[in-house]
Amino acid sequence: MRTHIAFSIVAVLAVAACSSPPEKRSYPLQGQVLAVTPDHQLATVKHEEIKGFMMAMTMAYKVSDPKLLNGIAPGDLINATLVVEPNGAYLSDVKKVGEAPLEKAADAPSATSGFELLKPGEQVPDADFVDQNGKKRTFSSFKGAPVALTFMYTTCPLPDFCPLMDRNFAAVQETIKSDPTLKNVHLVSISFDPVTDTPAVLKQHATELRADPARWTFLSGDRDTIDQFASRLGLAITRDQANPVSIAHNLRTAIVDAEGRLVKVYTGNEWKPDQLAADLKALK
C-alpha cells in the first residue's frame, strides 16, 4: 500500500512538472560585490555556484529595487535571492554579511570551461558555423581580412549586455564604412542560443540592426561547437536546464587579424566602438 502511494505521488509530480513549468524560480546567492552602477540598477557580483542552476560566475545583475543597493559597495560580501523569470533575472533581498579585499583581475575567465584560453598571437582554432542565410560557414573562411568578433543572443534580457554589443557593432560598422583604411574589416556576431536564434531569426535581427551583409555576418550552429569556440576566448555560458533559452553569460569581443591570429580580447561591456575602431586601424 505504501509503495502504491509513493508511485502515485511521483506520477502527480511528474505531470505537474510537465504541464506547468514554474514561471518564477528563486535561488539563494552568495558572493562579493565588485561594482555597483551609479543609478543602483545593477550590481556586478562574483558569486559561488548555485547548485543545480549555474556555475560560479561574475555577472552584472539587475536588482528588484535600486534601494537594495543603498550602502552596498565594492568588496561587500552579500547574501541575496536570485529570481529567475522567463525573460530575465534579478536580485532581491540583498543583505550585506561582511567585507573582503577585492581581488585584482576580477574579470578573470571561469576555470570551469576546461579549455585553454587563447593568447594574443595564437591561431584561433577553426570551427563550423551556420550564417544568417543558413549557409555553412567556417571561421577560417574569414581569413584574408581582419575580423572583429563578438558573442550575443537576440533575446538577451539585459540591455547593457548583448544588445549593447549589437549597438556597438552597428556603430563600428558606420566607422569602417566611412574610413577607407578599414574597408576590409569584417564584423562577426556569434549567437550562443542556437535554439532561438535560427538563421531566419538572425537574418531578421541583422535587418533590424541595418547590418550590411558584405561587412557584418551573424553566425550560430551546433551548441557544443559554439561553446567550445567561445570558451577559448573566455566566454562562460550557463543555460538553465529546464529552460534552455534562459542563459547566464559574460561578454567577450575579440580582434582577429587577417591571418586568423588573435590580436586582442575585450572583456565586459565597457569597451567603446571608437576604441575597437582605433585598435583595428593599428593592425598592420
Sign of the Cα torsion 29, 62, 220, 145 reads negative
Taking the least distance from each CB to Cu ion, the nearer of 166 and 257 is 166
Residue 192 CB, nearest approach to Cu ion (Å): 9
- Residues 150, 267: Cα–Cα separation, whole Å: 10
Taking the least distance from each CB to Cu ion, the nearer of 156 and 254 is 156
- Residues 204, 211: Cα–Cα separation, whole Å: 10
Sign of the Cα torsion 64, 70, 74, 77 reads negative
Give, as ranges, the residues between 106 and 165 that touch Cu ion (CB under 5 A).
Answer: 156, 161-162
Phi and psi at 96, nearest 5°, equal -75, 130
- Residues 282, 284: Cα–Cα separation, whole Å: 6
Q: Per the structure block, which three cell numbers stand in for 218?
A: 551573424
Taking the least distance from each CB to Cu ion, the nearer of 172 and 236 is 236
Q: Per the structure block, which three cell numbers stand in for 257?
A: 587579424
Give, as ranges, the residues between 22 and 81 that touch Cu ion (CB under 5 A).
Answer: none
Residue 153 CB, nearest approach to Cu ion (Å): 6
Residue 159 CB neighbours (<10 A): 10
Residue 68 CB, nearest approach to Cu ion (Å): 22
Binding mask 157-176 for Cu ion (x = CB under 5 A): ----xx--------------
- Residues 66, 29: Cα–Cα separation, whole Å: 18
Taking the least distance from each CB to Cu ion, the nearer of 90 and 161 is 161
Residue 14 CB, nearest approach to Cu ion (Å): 33
Residue 123 CB, nearest approach to Cu ion (Å): 27
Q: Per the structure block, which three cell numbers stand in for 54?
A: 549555474
Taking the least distance from each CB to Cu ion, the nearer of 131 and 166 is 166
CB-based closest residue to Cu ion: 156
- Binding-site size for Cu ion (CB under 5 A) equals 3
Site residues for Cu ion per CB under 5 A: 156, 161-162
